Chains A and B, each alone.
Chain A
């Protein structure tokens, strides 16, 4: 019935060899995955991208003033095209990306930046999701602990004998499982 009971009975019958092969394969796979990620991370981004890519990198952080929803990099509007031209000219003149961005902010105001700055009240936009996710995780972990503790005795009882009779609670859950996903009759 329960997966756990199944596992203990079936697991004992199966050859332990298969289990250890699976464990080994999993360990190798995880190690390979970690190494691959480390290799990619160590390689880092491409050095010195082409001019159009540099323009794009700056333009992607600016909001197109005409269309308001797309970045200067993405927008097909004429003004955005001209702004890309201005960025390219400034880069060619040796201005740094930060100087170019600051100049756009001076001309248009802070809203030209597509990402709110990470300071002052705007920091809230960055911190709040993390705080709430952390709180959610804490609540969920607490709930799981409580629910698992509530289940403690019966779980222990089940582990002691493979074919122990169903408790009333188990019976209820089983009925529920069998009934679930079948729609109510019309």
Chain B
């Protein structure tokens, strides 16, 4: 691609009536160079516009993966099936993750707003140990159920590519929205509102 399209042109075309042809050839070559460079530039300009680390979730619109997990303190288990009929917000987080700290206020605010409207929040600890995870939860005042995910099977089932990630699951059990980054209160509450049965938006 770095090479002009006709870079190998053997230039010993010194025949007498070649002047006009040569001129034509030259313009064609130049045109080829301009077209190729134009195409490449357009492609890279497109690349500049895009966030290379942004990866969409293919799960939106598909049924949420099933899981049955124990809470961090081991007191009881929760499963996806048991929450059917409600809007479920699944938040993957970790005590060692900096972005997770950033999004906690947004999550808490959304939780206080929606908890009486049939919205269930669930936090799934990713690659964490019970001690630090519990300390993190109390430091940030997380009041929704926090689950342990040994072997990260649930995380992999959700196609997790890092923490934090948040999934909003509709009452029918399909994934309505996936945030593959720290959520903001505005984005999250909009997604929850849309997923609630009342709003047919």
Which residues of A does B touch, CB under 8 Å? 65-66, 68, 78-79, 82-83, 85-86, 89, 104, 106-109, 111, 139-140, 143, 146-147
* B65 and chain A: residue at smallest CB distance: A107
Tell me whether B161 and A82 are in contact (CB under 8 A).
no
Known contacts A65-B162, A66-B161, A68-B53; is-contact A79 B8 (Cβ 8 Å): no
Tell yes or no: B184 within 8 A of A by CB.
no
Tell me whether A79 and B55 are in contact (CB under 8 A).
no
What separation, in Å, do the CA atoms of A143 and B8 have in the docked complex?
Answer: 9
What separation, in Å, do the CA atoms of A79 and B57 have in the docked complex?
Answer: 17
* List of B residues within 8 angstroms of A107 by Cβ: 58-59, 65, 156-159
Tell me whether A78 and B156 are in contact (CB under 8 A).
no
Tell yes or no: B172 within 8 A of A by CB.
no
Determine, out of B101-109, B136-144, B147-155, B192-200, the stretch whose residues face the partner at the interface.
Answer: B147-155
Known contacts A139-B8, A143-B8, A143-B10; is-contact A82 B155 (Cβ 8 Å): yes
* List of B residues within 8 angstroms of A109 by Cβ: 55-58, 159
Most buried by A among B127, B155, B161: B161
Known contacts A83-B156, A86-B153, A146-B10; is-contact A108 B161 (Cβ 8 Å): yes
Top-10 shortest CB links A-B: A65-B161, A82-B152, A109-B58, A107-B159, A108-B159, A78-B127, A66-B162, A86-B156, A139-B8, A85-B151
* List of A residues within 8 angstroms of B90 by Cβ: none
A-B contact pairs, 18 of them (CB 8 A): A65-B55, A65-B162, A78-B127, A79-B156, A79-B160, A79-B161, A85-B151, A89-B151, A104-B156, A107-B58, A107-B156, A107-B159, A108-B58, A109-B55, A109-B56, A139-B8, A143-B10, A146-B10
Tell me whether A86 and B151 are in contact (CB under 8 A).
yes
- Once A and B bind, how many residue pairs between them come within 8 Å at the CB atom? 57
What separation, in Å, do the CA atoms of A82 and B156 have in the docked complex?
Answer: 8
* List of A residues within 8 angstroms of B56 by Cβ: 109
Known contacts A107-B59, A111-B55; is-contact A79 B152 (Cβ 8 Å): yes
* List of B residues within 8 angstroms of A66 by Cβ: 161-162
Count of B interface residues, CB-CB < 8 Å = 22
What separation, in Å, do the CA atoms of A78 and B56 have in the docked complex?
Answer: 21
B154 smallest CB distance to A (angstroms): 10
Contact code string B157-188 (vs A, CB < 8 Å = 1, else 0): 11111100000000000000000000000000
Additional A-B contacts beyond A65-B161, A68-B53, A107-B156 (4; CB < 8 A): A78-B127, A86-B152, A104-B156, A109-B57
B127 smallest CB distance to A (angstroms): 4
What separation, in Å, do the CA atoms of A7 and B127 have in the docked complex?
Answer: 72
* List of A residues within 8 angstroms of B162 by Cβ: 65-66, 79
* B157 and chain A: residue at smallest CB distance: A107
* List of B residues within 8 angstroms of A68 by Cβ: 53
Known contacts A108-B58, A109-B58; is-contact A82 B159 (Cβ 8 Å): no
What separation, in Å, do the CA atoms of A143 and B160 have in the docked complex?
Answer: 54
